[in-house]
Structure 1
Amino acid sequence: MSSSYISSNVQTLKPSGIRKFFDLASKMDNVISLGVGEPDFVTPWNVIEASYHSLEQGYTAYTANAGLLELREEISIYLNDKFHVTYHPETQVLVTVGASQAIDLALRAVLDPLDEVIVVEPCFVSYAPTVNLAGGKAVTVQAKPENEFKILPSEVEAAITEKTKAIIICSPNNPTGTVLNKEELTAIAEVVKKHDLLVISDEIYAELAYDERATSIAAVEDMIDRTILVSGFSKAFAMTGWRLGYVTGPKEIIQAMTKIHQYTMMCAPTMAQHGALEALRNGNESVLEMKVSYRQRRNFVVDALNDMGLSCHLPGGAFYVFPSIKETGMNSEEFAERLLEEQRVAVVPGHVFGESGEGHIRCSYATSMKQLDESMKRLRKFVEKYTD
């Protein structure tokens, strides 16, 4: 069939740079993957059991478009307890098919053609493409390595035009692990309020903050009515394959998003919603156990990387490190390809996360200590070869 039938918007859409290395690695033997952005833990058994039980009880029909009210109530309680933000469960909470769908819905609900959205890079690879698919224009602002990839308010303000409608931020960040504290978020919030913008705040890694408790920008004074808070169960509760997220925000925006959700998805999977209900009610102990393990792995990997000469800041959250590979003289694509070919270690080249990611690689430490130890040995051998 002719490609003339395909939307020009989609034709110009680049495939995910992350998938390229997953596909290459899948065809090789003895590969250690540090590329996968998901927990290596199995979903806690009590969550799985709750989902099984819901099926046994006959809960196999659609839920309300916005999700089980009982789950939305628990989400509201959870956000209030953890991050001191208050949302009405009936009108300000929407359960989605993963956090990615929540971001897509938010952008489609608020953007008119050619509205601009500031995307802070390095960032998750879907942000800019999703803005473009929603008819908007992504304007990238580069967070810099010398600031540990923390965006400065002045850099945000310099990118604002009369067409700017929103900014997307992610803290803890994928791919850098950087966490913005309350003071830093407050400074960004001042710029947002000054220019009457919205914030789409991706907080999917908020539970995985290791050195200080994560802060939501929605909790900053006068920000709750201009923040669309996106989160979910994939990362903290090891529920990636369950595809369950949620979004909260001003009533009018959540209602607009729900209208789109009605026509495109109907509702999130019922059995996954019952599992998520159990995760919120009785999953805290499992989350804490995973956090302790991630923190140990983070410290090990950061020490190993710096010791072999790959400069790496200590990330405050998520489960990624973002070391510089500039000392090798290779760009990030070449480094990742050669590392995979020569040492069978899969990482993600930094450039796929934005221009300021070039000269870096993303390594996930969401794998066993045994695998991390072996991968660091292989990486050291590779680095020594190209820096002697």
Structure 2
Amino acid sequence: MRIAIVINTSWNIYNFRMSLVKALLAEGHEVIAIAPPDAYSPYLVAAGCQYVPIQMENKGTNPLQDMLLIKQFYSVYTKVQPQVILQYTIKPNIYGTLAAKLAGIPTINNVSGLGTVFIVRNLVSKVALGLYRLAFWFPLKVFFQNHDDQALFIHYKLVKPRLTDVLPGSGIDIKKFVPAPVFTRNLDFTFLMIARVLYEKGVVEFVEASRKLKQKYPQVRCQLLGGLDEAGNIGIKKNTFMAWVNEGAIEYLGTTDDVASVILESDCVVLPSYREGTPKTLLEAAALGKPIITTYVPGCKETVVNGENGYLCEVRNATDLATKMEQMYLLADSQLQQMGAASRRLAVTKFDEQLVIDKYLAVINSIPAKA
């Protein structure tokens, strides 16, 4: 079968969807990756995909302007002629689905996170709700990464319940991401946050909590790994962020293609996000046997059994986050090790990526082959 996978960046396909891509290729399917060109586009070709570029501004929030994407998606889809299209991220999910309907091609959509339009309620978000309601009339299946997002879409009548299903996030390769063979604790206890430098990821709360913690325990290290993003009103300005770094509130690690090695060097992974699909970084942390501190919000709360493999904190509450970080820091080595082991068990039993792959294959295999 000829299968297209469509996302807002080639980087996204390579870093988050390659296990599914490899599984499809192993089943004998032809996979066409459709995404804007970036440094990772050649990697998709090297992995065995056909690559078709498409121009798509993934940060724009003007639905009227974005409607022009329908024509572009339609042009690509009619040219490539896939038998099914797997779509991720907001713009492919909305405009790609409408184009696919016009082209007569079934789609399988994945709502991996609700994005800013659902966190900030304004005219743009109202228009987005309407567009989702229109587009999600047509997919063959709509996968969600947590039950809260599924329930929200059903509540607002954006999608028919029978079309929906829930995945364990993007899943995690539990064979690739494995804990260190011997438990170690850093002499300078290290908290690691992995996220783009955006307000909605809880970066401000992490900085404030780090300040509070370091006042009592100056030897503690609080690190942030992730790219700077000054887009619109959601990205923290570089000057502001670097001022926090220069004062010593946090350490900035920049970006890396080897996130696992950085996680392994930490003692606890922190993500005080306002809302997620299911954060891949927390799944990686769990598989690598690290305790987690995250917010009690959709997408994040699924990764922590409070008190067993980490702690859940209140969203937008730096004081509560600092309290949970202090609790983690004060754990005995044996307790910290037990939490890490519990994270690993959760990754194996709940978030194994094979569960994701099997659900996709089941839907794909239900599509009648064209003569």
User: TM-score by structure 2 length?
Assistant: 0.30
The one of the two structures with greater contact order (alpha-carbon pairs below 8 A, sep at least 6) is 1
TM-score (norm 1): 0.29
